[in-house]
Amino acid sequence: MELLAAHAPALGHWVVDGDDGRLDGYAAVDAAGGLDLWIRPEPDLAAVLRALVDSAAEYHGGRLESVLPAWEADLCAAFEALGFARVQEVLEMQIALAGRIAEPRLPDGIRLRPFEPDRDARDVHAALVEAFAGSDERVAPFEEWLPWVTGDPSYDPALVFVADAAGTVAG
């Protein structure tokens, strides 16, 4: 197992390259200590997690936090073995949509339009910061948030919208 700097090492991104040449894990840490990671199921979970957390801790030097699925008992136990403590439980919800979706009914004065990063990014980021103020959720600083959103391989500008109220981002 070899730890490699990848993607944007100056911004706190790492991969763990497995013995078989396959990617065993990936981690990114933001300025607030938010730790996002992915670990392939087959490798030594504890060793891969230790390598990624050690790198993130060395880079960040402060408190680290991550959101884990509670049903992944092995992953939760591996984090706890490294000294992480459960702070709260987060509920993940989903719905299977079938058939035709009804047109949205927007409040008077609100219209949907495509998200334009150059025009909207700062206002959308500010709205997120305001929406999550006082909660345990964190929003990365703007300089980290925007590349995280628009640089994600799943980012599709045709699927990102802004709720606009007379030229002001409402959501």
DSSP 8-state symbol, 80: H
What pTM did the predictor assign? Answer: 0.56
pLDDT tens, residue order, the chain (171 aa): 444 444 444 567 777 777 777 778 888 887 777 788 888 777 688 888 888 888 888 888 788 888 888 888 888 899 999 999 988 877 778 888 888 888 878 999 999 999 999 999 999 999 999 998 887 777 888 988 888 888 777 788 889 999 999 989 999
Residues 78 and 45: beta-carbon distance below 8 Å: yes
Among the listed residues 69, 5, 78, the one whose alpha carbon sits nearest the alpha carbon of residue 47: 78
Extended beta strands in 10-147, E state: 13-17, 23-29, 35-39, 110-114
In angstroms, the CA 31 to CA 34 distance is: 7
pLDDT at 73: 87
